[in-house]
Amino acid sequence: MDFIDVLKQFSVRAEKLRQQIQTEEATKTSLVMPFFQQVFGYDVFNPDEYVPEFVADVGIKKGEKVDYAIFLNGAPVILVETKWCGSTLEKDDSQLFRYFAASKVKFAILTNGIIYKFYTDLDDQNRMDLTPFLELDLLNIKESIVPELKRFCKANFDASEIFSRAAELKYSNEIKRYFLEQLKEPSDDFIKYFLTHTYDGMKTVQVIEKFRPIVKSTLNNLIGEMMNDRITSALKTDAAPAIQAQSTSAEAEAAVSVDAAPRNQAITTEEEIQAFYIVKAILASKVDISQISYKDTLNYFAVLYGGMVTKWICRFRFSATKKYIGFPNEKGEEARIEIANIEDIYRNQDSLVSSIQRFIG
């Protein structure tokens, strides 16, 4: 089984168990230890490899212990501090920070069994960075980080290689974070940068305020158009081999089949499929997109989470004259919004994210 498949399989386990776990100890035994064994391949029952209650004396404090230390070739390489799975981990890194300074390890992991934050000492040697260079959320696995996670497997572990990648990851994450912030609320400096290349007049406060909504909407629309172009291109690429393989007789037979389709049978259109891919693209950063599927009915085209009709994210109703996208309201009833074209789905990104949040917490 590939690493990504093992990770996704464990994600399903974590999602099922987390509501039942009420203590830190239960988090360790039910989530954290199985994760390091099943996903990263460490023998958690071998005291030469996986050491619980590892002593990391801090200054004059003796007997300070970190939850786990992972050893390779007789030396500790990773410290692991665990919190209850209901913890947000927002203010839980200070203890691990002290342990890191007192040890000779290069990496530390702070986890609540669902979220795993990976730290090193990029900014100041032997002092743990305040910001993790890598973060895994088991309930929202981003496939872009999977190769980086794989480096922490016992069979692949190379401290120098991971450290060299950590710097790139740290700054890459900062760039992404900054850009997302600017897409939501562009700063004055960000707007001035674009005006420098597009506007010849004085960049006064009034001018900046005038262009703020223009820059924001332009960038968001541009990203939407780029995503839509990629989806359209992918659809055409997928369809090309099938079209080339069809003979004239097969085309005629297919046409008859469509024309003769029973009136009580839904026919999925290319426009509906394109709308489905747009939804997947929007939600790709929030959930594992393999969990997003669709069901076409006579009345609507539904986008589902986990393949369950009771967990519908949105519904599309496309006719020759009107198009609607529907979202569940507080009562679970459908609230419809009219859209001019399928590109308008991008304008409903917040509603799509809110809808999926009902199922992923």
Q: pLDDT digit string (tens) for 51-85?
A: 998 886 655 456 678 899 999 988 899 999 999 99
Instruction: State how far the Cα of 131 lies from the Cα of 114, in Å rounded to an integer.
Output: 18
Mean pLDDT over residues 214-221, rounded?
85
- How sure is the predictor about 233, in pLDDT bands with cuts at 50, 70 and 90? low
Q: pLDDT grade, residue 309 (50/70/90)?
A: confident
Identify whether residues 14 and 112 lie together within a single domain.
yes
pLDDT tens for each residue of 191-217: 999 999 888 888 899 999 999 888 888
Q: Is residue 196 situated within a structural domain?
A: no
- A 10 A CB-CB count for 291 gives 19
Structural domain range at position 118: 3-176
Q: What is the mean pLDDT of residues 317-343?
A: 89
**Residues 142, 79 within the same domain:** yes
CB atoms within 10 A of CB 104: 9
Which pLDDT score is estimated for 250? 46
Calculate mean pLDDT across residues 83-112.
Answer: 83
* C-alpha dihedral (220, 221, 224, 226), degrees to nearest 10: -110
255 part of a folded domain? no
Identify any residues that bridge with 334 across adjacent strands, giving them in sequence order: 328
pLDDT at 253: 46
Strands 50-55 and 323-328: unpaired
Q: Where are the beta strands (DSSP E) in the chain?
A: 50-55, 65-72, 75-82, 107-111, 115-119, 134-137, 292-296, 301-305, 308-318, 323-328, 334-339
Angstrom distance (rounded) from CA 259 to CA 257: 6
Establish if 214 belongs to a structural domain.
yes
Q: How many CB atoms lie within 10 A of CB 100?
A: 26
Mark whether 275 and 337 lie in a shared domain. Answer: yes
Contact 153, 3 (CB under 8 A): yes
271 and 336 both lie in a single domain: yes
Q: Number of structural domains, the chain?
A: 3
Identify which has the larger pLDDT, 266 or 143.
Answer: 143
Q: What is the mean pLDDT of the chain?
A: 84
Provide the pLDDT confidence category of residue 99 given band limits of 50, 70 and 90.
confident
Do 90 and 127 lie in one domain? The reply is yes
Residue 305 lies in a domain: yes
Together in a domain, 229 and 345:
no
- Total H helices, total E strands in the chain: 11, 11
Residues contacting residue 251 through CB under 8 Å, at least 6 positions apart: none
